[in-house]
Structures are given as C-alpha cells and as structure tokens.
Amino acid sequence: MPAIHRPPRWAVAEGAATPELVFANRRAVLAGLGLALAGAGLVPRVVKAQTQGDAAARTTFLYPAQRNRTYTVDRALTPEAVSGSYNNFYEFGSHKQIARAAQALVTHPWDIEVDGLVEKPLTIAFEDLVRRMALEERLYRHRCVEAWSMTVPWTGFPLSALLALARPLSSARFVRFETFNDPGIAGGQKQVWYPWPYVEGVTMEEATNDLAFLVTGAYGKPLAEQFGAPLRLALPWKYGFKSIKSIRRISFTDQQPIGFWEEIAASEYGFWANVNPDVPHPRWSQVEERVLHTGERVPTQLYNGYAEEVAGLYKGLESASLYR
C-alpha cells in the first residue's frame, strides 16, 4: 500500500497564496541573486528552492520518518557536520571537500527512469516516487575502501519496494544504476578521462536483500546535495563506492554491470566489493578502519558487521573475488 501523506501544517491555503505578478517579480530578483550566489556555491536553501529546482524544499514535510529499530548500530552516530563535509562525490571534485560545490546540483525536476528487463518500464518524478513509498529511518555503518568509516541515520525505503513497482522479468539477473551527467553543473564531469556517468550494479539477490536501501534523506531531513540528493543507494555490507549517488536511471539486465571504478581500475575495484578485513586493497590495508570524528581505529568486520544478513547471498560463489 502506498503511504498516505497529509499536507504539511505550513502548507498555504490556495486563497492565501501570493498573487502571481508579485511572485513573478520576486522570482526574477531571486533568480539574479541565486545565479550570483550559485557561482560562489553559496545558495541558501530558501533561494535555491525558488530559483533552481530543489527537491529537498518540496519534500521536507515527509521528515523525520519513523526509525526502524531492526537497523541499529553499536557505535555513536557521526555528527552531521562531520559526515556532511567529508564526502566522495567525484562529479564535484576528486577530494573530500565537495559539499559547497555540490550545492549547484539541481534536484527538481528530477525524473528517474526504470527500464530494461521489466514488466512495467516507467519514468517517475522523484517527488512522486518518494510520496508513494513508506519512508523509514535506519542507522547504518558506512565503510569506504579508503578505510575510514562513519555511522549515518539514513531515511528511505527498501530497494525491493522499487522492484515491486517495476516488476522485473525472470530473465533479469542484475540491477544497474546510473547517476546524472551534466558537466555544466558538475565540474568533475568535465574531466573527460573519467567514464561518466557514474555507474554501479548489484545482483537481483543483493537488490532484494532487506539491507539494500534507497536513500532520500539523512539526519531526519531530505538528503543534502553532497550526500547524493535526491536519491542514492546504501549497501552497508559493501565498500562505499557501490553506494551510488544522485541516481537518474535504474535498469534491469542480464549483463553484469561494470562500475565506474571497475572500469577505471579493474585490478583495484571489482563487482562484489564486500567488506573483508583479510583482503587488502592494493593501496589500503582493510584490517582496521578509522572512525571519522573520533579518529579511533577499530578492527574491520567481515561484511562490515552484516554477515548474518548477507553471508548467505554468496554461498557457492567462493571462487569469485567477492571482496574487492
């Protein structure tokens, strides 16, 4: 059953809305201001909402969602100020301080295409999708192959709920995800030696596992741009590069997708990328991880601590390189 959402308390009654002309003038002024600030990466949310498209401002009323207590953690949550200012999002730069540049991301209108081996291919506006889903909050570990980790309260819905909408055919074996491609707003995409757009993929078995989560929010609010607004994946048992941000297209296929990093360096980044302390990456030992904010070094756990939920997915695949 799709969730029913009441209009927010602050929603204006039609009669009380600003007359169109006043609004149009205000919009023109704000547009000028917005463009100037956008260049500097300094667009306040309220200005952005009126001048560029902003999914966050349009979906705030859905948050906070109820926490699903099945998905909890045994360590402190990473403060938002820390996790929101140390991000991998190569579309906006190949360093961690991309939060400001990422504010240029225009998240409305934002259509998501669902295609390939499905009974019901569809193109759905992000806002329609998020309203159809019953949102919940989950606390997840998040572990990068660079050996740092954080713990984040994500809000979203299980990937399996999207599968239920699209009804994949029995011939579908993989789900392939693709990010937007717009070098005009994402400076990193001007670096033509990278294989844009960012792509990632999982098997159908992984996609239907309860842990596979499509994220629309974090810290009780719509997703901030640097986290991969308006829609990203969270696969907490895998290295972070599998958790693709700012998804535009979801395709069902019988071909194993080649991810962005796998295409760049197949000897370093593979399809499975399951967290394992015993399999080092050529540049980073995986024995320990550095917890962001506290700086503490803690032992890495197999499947990032989610072995009970996911180890069964890999029975019979022992000969595959599951951990890189």
Residues numbered 204 to 243 that lie near ligand MTE (CB under 6 A) are 227-228, 240-241, 243
Task: Considering the complex, state which of residue 243 and residue 253 has its C-beta at the smaller distance from ligand MTE.
Answer: 243
Closest CA to 184 of 52, 42, 5, 55: 52
Residues numbered 76 to 135 that lie near ligand MTE (CB under 6 A) are 87-91
| Residue 307, CA atoms < 13 Å, CB-side half-sphere | 8
Tell me whether residue 239 is exposed, middle or buried, using C-beta atoms within 10 angstroms of its C-beta: 0 to 12, 13 to 18, 19 or more.
Answer: buried
Residues numbered 133 to 152 that lie near ligand MTE (CB under 6 A) are 142, 144
Task: Considering the complex, state which of residue 51 and residue 107 has its C-beta at the smaller distance from ligand MTE.
Answer: 107
DSSP letter at 238 equals B
34 interacts with ligand MTE by CB under 6 A: no
Q: Is the dihedral angle over the CA atoms 43, 47, 51, 56 positive or is it negative?
A: positive
Cβ 245 to ligand MTE, closest distance in Å? 4
Task: Considering the complex, state which of residue 51 and residue 142 has its C-beta at the smaller distance from ligand MTE.
Answer: 142
Q: Which of 52, 59, 246, 274 binds ligand MTE (CB under 6 A)?
A: 246
Could you give the C-alpha distances from 123 to 98, 115, 274, 309, in angstroms and in order? Answer: 29, 8, 31, 32
177 interacts with ligand MTE by CB under 6 A: no
DSSP letter for each residue of 191-230 = -TTS-SSPEEEEEHHHHTSTT-EEEEEETTEEPPGGGTSS
On whether the CB atoms of residues 228 and 196 are closer than 8 A, the answer is no
Size of the site for ligand MTE (CB under 6 A): 17
198 interacts with ligand MTE by CB under 6 A: yes
Q: Which of 245, 272, 289, 291 binds ligand MTE (CB under 6 A)?
A: 245
Distance CA 213, CA 82 (A): 22
Task: Considering the complex, state which of residue 135 and residue 231 has its C-beta at the smaller distance from ligand MTE.
Answer: 231
Using Cβ positions, the residue closest to ligand MTE within the complex turns out to be 240
Where does this chain bind ligand MTE (CB under 6 A)? 87-91, 142, 144, 179, 198, 227-228, 240-241, 243-246
